[in-house]
């Protein structure tokens, strides 16, 4: 992690990041977007604080989210990396949160607040433990290794998609889903029982 002001400034300028402020502690605040995607980064070498716009760090080689901002006003996208944990992710994301196409086995370290969608598809999730409990948009956890929906969000404002897992029941599913509930391509032989309010359709095959 870079700590000297000149080193931090040189890295930010090299990444074409604008409208930033470097505090005496070395924490970086950005009024706008940060796009460090597709840079072959193995780490985020500076500590971001608040980023008012979007923060994009997808298509890298990140094994850790250390250095990520604690708060993002727009979307946060860390998909297509080598993450095994979400530790270090922002506590608050105003837009969507994307962590698909990584190596996650749980959602520990997830943001506490997500204003949009939450996409954790295409991982190795064995549990949804650590998931935010209220999602304003959709929640997508398809193509994982889930055997249970325990620890799912309580409320999902949009669609809920848990297709292509290893589920045998929907026990532990959200209490309320604002859109469709897609649980297709699992191990159901008949329409599964679900104790939830679904404003869209239940799709199971």
- Residue 145 inside a domain? The answer is yes
Residues 6 or more apart whose Cβ sits within 8 Å of residue 24: none
- Residue 144 inside a domain? The answer is yes
Whether residue 195 is predicted with pLDDT greater than 90 in this model: the reply is: no
Are residues 87 and 174 both part of a single domain?
no
Confidence of residue 191 (pLDDT cuts 50, 70, 90): confident
Domain count, the chain: 2
- Residue 26 inside a domain? The answer is yes
pLDDT digits (tens, 9 = 90+) for 69-118: 999 999 999 999 999 999 999 999 999 999 999 999 999 999 999 999 99
Whether residue 155 is predicted with pLDDT greater than 90 in this model: the reply is: yes
Are residues 82 and 133 both part of a single domain?
no
- Residue 118 inside a domain? The answer is no
Are residues 147 and 82 both part of a single domain?
no
- In this prediction, residue 200 carries a pLDDT of 96
Are residues 155 and 92 both part of a single domain?
no
- In this prediction, residue 150 carries a pLDDT of 96
In terms of residue numbers, what domain contains 13?
A: 1-98
Mean pLDDT is lowest, of 105-114, 144-153, 188-197, for 188-197
Whether residue 60 is predicted with pLDDT greater than 90 in this model: the reply is: yes
- Residue 135 inside a domain? The answer is yes
Handedness of CA 74, 107, 166, 100 (dihedral sign): positive
Residues 6 or more apart whose Cβ sits within 8 Å of residue 17: 30, 34, 36
């Amino acid at each position: 992690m870079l700590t000297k002001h000149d080193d931090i400034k040189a890295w930010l300028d090299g990444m074409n990041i604008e409208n930033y402020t470097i505090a005496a502690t070395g924490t970086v605040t950005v009024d706008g977007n940060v796009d460090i995607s597709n840079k072959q980064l193995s780490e985020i070498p500076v500590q971001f604080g608040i980023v008012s716009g979007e923060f994009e760090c997808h298509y890298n080689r990140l094994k850790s989210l250390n250095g990520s901002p604690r708060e993002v006003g727009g979307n946060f996208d860390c998909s297509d990396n080598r993450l095994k944990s979400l530790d270090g992710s922002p506590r608050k994301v105003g837009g969507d949160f994307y962590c698909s196409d990584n190596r996650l086995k749980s959602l520990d370290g997830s943001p506490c607040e997500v204003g949009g969608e939450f996409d954790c598809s295409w991982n190795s999730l064995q549990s949804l433990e650590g998931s935010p409990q209220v999602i304003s948009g959709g929640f997508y956890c398809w193509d994982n290794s889930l055997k249970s929906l325990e620890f799912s969000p309580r409320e999902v404002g949009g669609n809920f998609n848990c297709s292509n897992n290893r589920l045998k029941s929907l026990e532990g599913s959200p209490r309320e889903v604002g859109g469709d509930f897609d649980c297709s391509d699992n191990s159901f032989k008949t329409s599964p029982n679900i104790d939830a309010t679904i404003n869209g359709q239940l799709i199971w095959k």
